[in-house]
């Protein structure tokens, strides 16, 4: 759907195309296509991840942006978090039996509504709106505080957002019995893994949740997910995890360990599944929590200390038939300090002639890059004892086997580990240490396709 | 475990390390580490993918290989296939009720035995051995011919092997009612997808199978998988597919569409699962075939014509939080003609500031590279109608949505498509056309985690 003739011709004249960075008055961001609604509003994607519609007239100055470097997002968050936290918490005012729970918002579908009238502009609900919209929540918990930590779409989260969320969660935990974080679902498991590493020794729970259908639709899963998350947050569990629909009916939710969970379906509400793990607990919206895992931590007085150092120069590459190992050399040249390879089966990579990954992996390791190998089969574990090719890979090339750790978790962990040490050897040791339940020494058959 | 002192010092003197390409007399290949057995045999990985143990004495000439280019594997296969096929088939001699079935071997665990005495050397069973070792097979089918097409480990398969297998299968189908291909499990689904595209208009079935436990172990799944595959090959179905254990008990197998199946567990026997599809059929070792999919093709007189043109310069990249889009530019510079991106959820890629993938994807598309986007959620489908970022990606940047097609299938399909046309536009059209059941227009909820 085109913009109005006026806008289209102004864009053409300025040689601006959709996706380009533009400036209209004070507003700067990426030019978006018109999707619906008024043809005389230009849609700009702001650096905070959301869209703005700017009314265009003949006098409107429209130009290609000269700065390609937006304001540091991290600083923005820090500021926002500080400001919100400066307000007094309501914890003291909570009545008996209504445990104080904090809600942090990180954007995503659960915080979005489409405004069909003005078109294309994504309106947003803040944490307080979310809380207020579900009366059942207020029956279960007391509203300690609500903080908008960031407003980005799931695909635009990165380690700076994880750091901001970890710090905000640690602060909120001091004022509450548990924290709920609302988040877009697409990359929620990456964030859950990051927070698992960044919030060690947690004495309470940090519960990530979201929705697969936006909150203004009848079929939304937001209400039950939030309710179950609140029940989890006040329970005696002490984990970073994801709490979402367990199945397609509106029965109950699963609370899943942050390092052992993955979005497995693009649209179903029961999309999040535990991988190589049982769910930590089933949670019913009426209030019942049934612990389902033999590996759970219980509530304690441990004070959370966020440990957010992170090295973003980490790659996640997939090895597959015919794959070109020169991509590893490219990553080394680009200054990447860590590479996670998704191998096949037990962790295999091509070993044949020109296409062999082994020399490239060895060269990377010799130049000080940490290379870890996970399995793209996803369930099960890497295993260096079965095939001789894998002995070469792991023993001789110095690659680190990821065991039953998800490749996505391994990617996040490697960034976190490399944020803590400059020594590749030490990083290798940390990768093999069970920091946040990312390794499960007791894999059971019924964990497959749970 | 080191080699003998003699060998270790000879290696040191020649500056040869494990993984290097070496020559000992007439034998050339990659030096492997010693794993077990005799310390005075040097283990060399040959270009055909298997290991050879070469006895070493003081007089043995051991040198770094000067040629880094092994003999063209493709030609080798062609030759082998031709030679084997030149022998008369036994089809004419089959008794009534014993349909002629051919068996092609492509290596893998099912064809491997570890020789614990000589150590490290991987012995191999050829197709005839496999057939002879299972008496029940001979009760179900008649042995039309057995051909060793290639002997490589699963991780070393590439498009040249797929081409050799497609040609061999097409030939064998003329002499039989169906073909079984034994194959390593790690990359079997890539091969199954390749054969699905390379063998259009099939009137009979090509059944890939393998084993998760080698045939000399008590727990091997090879016998039942082969038996069910033979029953599938003689059935009235006409599909390229994978036939392997349906569950952990030895009850029955599933026959799964070659374009909609994936190895999902590193070690369980029930590792292969249909993705966004029902299995084509359940197959019992006693002979029963129960069709379970509404989308099946039945046996016909169609003569298979292999269509094996393939462009190997295709990449498969994963997009994730913080991922660096410059890797796309690297692929374009390297002359890649196609790129499959594994996005998140409905097919999202990062769109934020410096880390936005959108400009890199558009630049790739503008330079004539075909970019297709699949979902790393795996189940479900890409969807450009829900979020505005995806409209930019798919409508404005020219990326092709892969729908419910697996990223691995999309990778194989894009190579096959680009083998058929130099036009990016035509390639885009072909990518969106349902060639071999890779798109399923009727996704059902119970296909999730089937």
Residue B35 is predicted with a pLDDT of: 55
Angle at B125 between CA B120 and CA B131, to 5 degrees: 155
Collect all residues of chain B within an 8 Å Cβ-Cβ radius of residue A392. 18-19, 32-33
Of the residues A194, A388, A391, the best mutation for testing chain B's interface (the one with the most B CB atoms within 10 Å of its CB) is A388
Q: Which secondary-structure segment (H or E) carries A428?
A: helix A424-431
Contact B346 A392 (CB under 8 A): no
Q: Which domain holds residue A286?
A: 73-291
Joined together, the tokens standing for residue A31 give 């030019």
- CB of A51 less than 8 A from some CB of B: yes
Among A16-25, A166-175, B109-118, name the most confident range.
A166-175
CATH number, position B26: 2.30.30.520
Boundary-marking domain end, from B37, B64, B91: B64
Q: Do strands B27-31 and B41-45 pair parallel, antiparallel, or not at all (unpaired)?
A: antiparallel
What would the two tokens of residue A78 be?
A: 């820090």
User: What pLDDT digit, counting tens, does each position of A46-75 carry?
Assistant: 665 556 677 888 888 888 887 654 433 333
Interface of A with B in 53-82 (CB under 8 A): 68-70, 73
Whether residue A298 is contained in a domain is answered as: no
Read off the pTM: 0.81
Asked if the structure places residue A59 within a domain, the reply is yes
Does B227 share its domain with B255?
A: yes
User: Does residue A297 form part of some domain?
Assistant: no
C-alpha to C-alpha distance for B343 and B319, rounded to whole angstroms: 5
pLDDT (average), residues A162-181? 96
Calculate how close chain A gets to B366, using CA atoms only, in Å.
13
Q: Which of residues 171-200 of A touch B (CB under 8 A)?
A: 185-187, 190-191
CA distance B132 to chain A (A): 26
A:B CB pairs within 8 Å: 266
Which among B321, B353, B449 is the nearest to A187, CB-wise? B321
Beta strand pairing status for B281-283 and B253-257?
Answer: antiparallel
Reported as a single tens digit per residue, the pLDDT across A227-240 is 999 999 999 999 99
Residues B154 and B318: their CA atoms lie apart, in Å, by 22
Burial per residue of A132-147, b for 16 or more beta-carbon CB atoms within 10 angstroms, e otherwise:
eebeebeebbbbbbbb
Q: How many CA atoms lie within 13 A of B110 on its CB side?
A: 35
pLDDT at A91: 56
Among the candidates B17, B40, B64, a domain finishes at: B64
* pLDDT at residue A291 tops 60: yes
Residue B185 known to be catalytic:
yes
Contact B19 A248 (CB under 8 A): no
Say what the pLDDT of residue A54 is: 79
Contacts of B60 (CB under 8 A, 6+ apart): B10, B24, B25, B54
- If asked whether residues A159 and A79 sit together in one domain, one would say yes
Q: Residue B155: which region, alpha, beta or left (left: phi > 0; alpha: psi -120 to 50)? A: alpha
Helix (H) or strand (E) holding A193: helix A188-198
User: Same structural domain for residues A10 and A147?
Assistant: no
CATH assignment at residue A136: 3.40.50.1170
A425 and A344 together in one domain: yes
pLDDT in tens, A107-119: 776 665 543 333 3
A119: in domain: yes
Higher pLDDT residue, A215 or B353?
B353
B84 and B220 assigned to the same domain: yes
Answer whether residue B75 shows pLDDT above 60.
no
Give dist(CA B352, CA B191) in Å, integer.
37
Higher-pLDDT residue of A143 and A265 is A265
> Could you read off the pLDDT of B396-426 as tens digits, one per residue?
889 999 999 999 999 999 999 999 999 999 9
The answer as to whether A300 is a domain residue is no
User: Is B119 found in the same domain as B149?
Assistant: yes
- Residues 240-269 (B) with a CB less than 8 A from some CB of A: 248, 263-268
Q: Are residues A145 and A211 in the same domain?
A: yes
Give pLDDT, residue B301: 92
pLDDT at B386 over 90: no
User: Tokens for B340?
Assistant: 């499959």
- Both B378 and B280 in a single domain? no
Residue of A267, A269, A383, A398 to mutate for B, most B C-beta atoms under 10 A: A267
Indicate whether A299 belongs to any domain.
no
A114 and A187, same structural domain?
A: yes
Residue B263 pLDDT > 80: yes
CB-facing half-sphere around the CA of B281: CA atoms within 13 A:
28
**CB-CB: which of A32, A122, A350 is closest to B155?**
A350
- The length of chain A, given as a count of residues: 450
Q: Which of B91, B109, B277, B382 is catalytic?
A: B109
Please indicate, yes or no, if residue A274 is contained in any of the structural domains.
yes
Q: In this predicted structure, which of A278-292, B216-230, B410-424 has the lowest mean pLDDT?
A: B216-230
pLDDT at B16: 87
Report d(CA B177, CA B204) in Å as an integer: 7
Nearest chain B residue to A382 by CA distance is: B266
Phi/psi for B110 (5° steps) reads -60, -25
Report how far residue A348's alpha carbon sits from residue B187's, in angstroms, rounded to the nearest whole number: 10
Per CB-CB distance under 8 Å, the chain A contacts of B378 are: 264-265
> Over 80: is that where the pLDDT of A38 sits?
no
DSSP letter string, A257-271: ETTSEEE-BSS-TT-
User: Over 90: is that where the pLDDT of B42 sits?
Assistant: no
- Of the ranges A31-45, A203-217, A273-287, B207-221, which is most confident? A273-287
Picking from B258, B291, B324, the residue at the C-terminal end of a domain is B291
CATH number of domain containing A332? 3.40.50.40
CB interface of A with B, residues 291-350, below 8 Å: 312, 314-324, 326-327, 330-331, 334, 342-346, 348-350
Q: How far is CA B76 from CA B24, B136, B149, B157, in A?
A: 21, 33, 10, 14
Residue A81: per-residue pLDDT: 39
Q: Do B342 and B259 share a structural domain?
A: no
Residue of A nearest to B269 (CA): A445
Query: Per the structure, how many domains does chain A have?
Result: 3
Helix count and strand count (H, E) for chain A: 12, 21
- The per-residue pLDDT for A55 is 80
Catalytic residue numbers of A read 109, 185-186, 263
A44 and A188 belong to one structural domain: no
**Is A211:A222 a contact under the CB 8 Å cutoff?**
yes
Which tops the pLDDT comparison, B50 or B81?
B50
Mean pLDDT of A397-414: 96
Kindly state whether residue B280 falls inside one of the protein's structural domains.
yes
Residues A259, A220, single domain; the answer is yes
Percent of chain B with pLDDT over 70: 83
Mean pLDDT in residue range A242-253? 93
């Amino acid at each position: 759907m085109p913009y109005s003739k006026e806008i289209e011709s102004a864009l053409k004249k300025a040689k601006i195309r959709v996706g380009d960075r533009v400036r209209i008055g004070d507003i700067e961001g990426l030019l978006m296509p018109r999707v619906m609604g008024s043809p005389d509003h230009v849609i700009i994607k702001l650096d905070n991840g959301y869209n703005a519609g700017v009314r265009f007239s003949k006098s409107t100055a429209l130009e290609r942006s000269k700065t390609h470097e937006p304001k540091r997002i991290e600083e923005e968050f820090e500021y926002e978090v500080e400001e919100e936290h400066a307000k007094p918490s309501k914890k003291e005012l909570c009545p008996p039996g209504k445990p104080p729970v904090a809600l942090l918002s990180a954007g995503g579908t659960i915080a979005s509504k489409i405004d069909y009238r003005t078109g294309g502009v994504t309106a947003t609900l803040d944490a307080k709106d979310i809380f207020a919209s579900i009366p059942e929540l207020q029956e279960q918990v007391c509203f300690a505080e609500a903080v908008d930590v960031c407003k980005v779409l799931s695909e635009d989260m990165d380690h700076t957002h994880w750091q901001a969320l970890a710090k905000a969660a640690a602060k909120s935990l001091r004022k509450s019995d548990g924290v709920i974080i609302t988040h877009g679902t697409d990359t929620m498991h990456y964030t859950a893994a990051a927070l698992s590493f960044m919030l060690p020794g947690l004495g309470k729970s940090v519960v990530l949740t979201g929705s697969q259908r936006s909150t203004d639709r009848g079929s939304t899963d937001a209400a039950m997910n939030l309710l179950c998350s609140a029940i989890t947050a006040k329970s005696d569990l002490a984990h970073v995890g994801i709490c979402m629909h367990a199945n397609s009916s509106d029965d109950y939710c699963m609370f899943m360990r942050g390092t052992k969970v993955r979005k497995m379906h693009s649209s179903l509400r029961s999309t999040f599944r535990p991988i190589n793990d049982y769910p930590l607990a089933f949670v019913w919206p009426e209030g019942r929590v049934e612990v389902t895992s033999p590996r759970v931590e219980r509530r304690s007085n441990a004070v959370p200390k966020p440990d957010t150092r992170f090295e973003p120069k980490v790659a996640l590459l997939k090895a597959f038939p015919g794959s070109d190992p020169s991509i590893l050399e490219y990553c080394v040249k680009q200054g990447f300090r860590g590479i996670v390879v998704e191998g096949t089966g037990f962790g295999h990579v091509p070993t044949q002639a020109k296409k062999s990954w082994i020399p490239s992996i060895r060269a990377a390791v010799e130049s000080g890059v940490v290379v870890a190998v996970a399995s793209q089969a996803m369930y099960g574990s890497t295993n260096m004892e079965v095939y001789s090719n894998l002995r070469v890979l792991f023993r001789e090339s110095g690659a680190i086997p990821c065991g039953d750790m998800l490749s996505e978790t391994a990617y996040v962990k490697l960034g976190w580990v490399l944020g803590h040490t400059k020594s590749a050897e030490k990083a290798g040791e940390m990768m093999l240490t069970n920091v946040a339940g990312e390794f499960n020494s007791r894999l059971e058959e019924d964990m497959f396709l749970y």
